[in-house]
Amino acid sequence: MKKILLLLFIISVISVKSQITITSTSMPNSGDTIRYSNASLASLGDYTVTGTNQFWDFSSLVPTSQAIRKFEPAFSTPYIFFGTGYGEKTADSIGFSPILFKNIYSFYKKSSSKFYVDGIGMTFSGIPIPNFYSDKDELYLFPLHYTDRDSSTFKFSTVTTGSTIPSYSKQGYRITEADGWGKITTPYGSDSCLRIVTTQYSQDSIKGSIAIGTFTIPLNIGFPNYTRSYQWLTLGERIPYLEVTGTLIAGNFVPAQVKYRDIIRSFVGIKEESLNNIALAVFPNPASSALTIVIPESTTHIVAEIVDLQGKTVLLKDLNDNTQVVNQHQMDVSGLAKGLYILNLSNLSGKQSLKISIQ
C-alpha cells in the first residue's frame, strides 16, 4: 500500500512539474523583432479542445504569408514624445473616410505583476495623436497558472484640441482565463504551453464632423467591439506559439485569423524584389567582418535586418539619410556565427530580401 501511495505521489509531482508558469520574462522586450506566419483557416482543425496534459497537434497548418512583430523603443516610433515603454504597429487604420485615423501603434509596459497596454498612437491628416490609457488595458497578470481567471477594465480617449480633429475612444473590460496546459506542435516545432482564452468587450466611439457642401454635419458614432483570442503561450518565444483571433457575434465566436511563430519560408507566387529597387550594391558576399550596403541618394530611411534561418533577428540597423550622391553604410557582422543568413532591407516603399553568407 505504501508503495502504491508513493508511486501516486511521484506521478502527481511529475504532473505538476509539467505545467509551465508564464511570467513577465516570457513577454516581449523593447527591440524584439519576432517572425510569424499567417495560416489558412481551413487548415486549422479543432482549436477548442482543452484541459490538462493536452497534446495540441497543429502540424498540418498551411502558412500563406509572413510578417514580423516589431517592438520598437518609444523614441523610434512616429510618436517620439510619447514617453517610456515600447511600441508596436498594430493596425493601418481605424474608422472610415473622411474620419480615418492611420498608423496605429500600441505602447506596452511590463512589470513583475502585469503586461499591459499603456497608450495608443495614431495620426489624423498627418497630425500625430499620442495618448495614454486612463485605465490601462492589462493583457496578462503574473504569475499566470492553469485555472487562473482574471477580469480587468480599460478606458482610452484621444485628447484633441480644435473642432477639425475628431476623437476616438474605447472602454470596456477583458476576461482572461488559462483553461489548459500541455504540449503544442506546429510547423515551427513543439513546446510546452499554457492555453489562454482572452475576450474583450468594449464600446468604441468616434466623434467628429463631415462637410457636405456648405453644411457641416456632426457625427457621434458608437459601436460594440467584441473580440476573442485563443493563445498558446510558451516560456521562450515571447509571442503566442499559436493564436486564433476573431469576433463574437451574438455570443458565437467567428475566427478570422490564424498566426503562429515561425521560421523564414518561401511562398509560391511571391517574388523577391529587385536589389536595385532599394540598394545599388551589397558586398562582400561572403563577408567576414563588415558588410557594405550602397544606396542611392533618393532612397531614404532604410532599415537593415539580418535574420538567421530560424527567423530570429540577429542584427538590426537604421541606415540614416545622407546627402551624398552615393551612400555607403557598413554593418559590423564580425560577431555573427559562420553560416547563411537573410538580409532584409525595407523602407516605406517596399522590401528587399537576399541571402548572405558569413565566413
Give the model's pLDDT for residue 13: 42
| pTM higher than 0.75 | no
Give the model's pLDDT for residue 9: 42
- The CATH code of the domain at 275-358 is 2.60.40.3080
Give the model's pLDDT for residue 105: 94
Written as one string, the DSSP assignment of 275-332 is GGGT-SEEE-SSBSSEEEEEEETT--SEEEEEE-TTSBEEEEEEE----SSEEEEEEE
Share of the chain above pLDDT 70, in %: 84
Cα radius of gyration rounded to whole Å, the chain: 23
Give the model's pLDDT for residue 21: 97
Give the model's pLDDT for residue 76: 86
Q: What is the distance between the terminal CA atoms of the chain, rounded to a whole angstrom?
A: 64
DSSP state of 25: G
The region of weakest confidence among 44-48, 144-148, 170-174, 270-274 is 270-274
Q: What is the rounded distance in angstroms from the CA atom of residue 48 to the CA atom of residue 301? A: 44
Taking 80 as the threshold, does the pLDDT of residue 297 lie above it? no
CB atoms within 10 A of CB 82: 22
Q: What is the rounded distance in angstroms from the CA atom of residue 128 to the CA atom of residue 150? A: 34
Q: What is the rounded distance in angstroms from the CA atom of residue 29 to the CA atom of residue 348? A: 24
Express each pLDDT in 148-162 by its tens digit. 999 999 999 987 655
Q: Which residues contact 336 (CB under 8 A, 6 or more apart)?
A: 306, 314, 315, 358
Taking 80 as the threshold, does the pLDDT of residue 34 lie above it? yes
Written as one string, the DSSP assignment of 46-74 is ------TTEEEE-TT--EEEEEEEE-EEG
Give the model's pLDDT for residue 1: 46
276 alpha-carbon distance from chain centroid: 30
Strand-pair category, 302-307 with 290-296: unpaired
The region of weakest confidence among 27-31, 43-47, 127-131, 316-320 is 316-320
All cell numbers assigned to 69: 512583430
Express each pLDDT in 162-175 by its tens digit. 557 888 999 999 99
- Is residue 221 within 8 Å of residue 205, measured between CB atoms? yes
CB atoms within 10 A of CB 264: 17
Q: Which residues contact 97 (CB under 8 A, 6 or more apart)?
A: none
Instruction: Identify the three-state secondary structure at position 37.
Output: strand
The region of weakest confidence among 175-184, 198-207, 284-293, 317-326 is 317-326
**Strands, E, within 144-289: which ranges?**
149-157, 167-186, 189-212, 215-233, 242-249, 252-261, 281-283
* Residue given cell 457575434 in the structure block: 249
SS (H, E, C) 177-188: EEEEEEEEEECC
Give the model's pLDDT for residue 44: 94
Give the model's pLDDT for residue 55: 97
Express each pLDDT in 170-215 by its tens digit. 999 999 999 999 999 999 999 999 999 999 999 999 888 776 767 7
Q: Where in the chain is the domain with CATH 2.60.40.3080?
A: 275-358
Apex 273 CA angle, 270 and 278, nearest 5: 155
Per-residue confidence band for 20, with pLDDT thresholds at 50, 70 and 90: very high
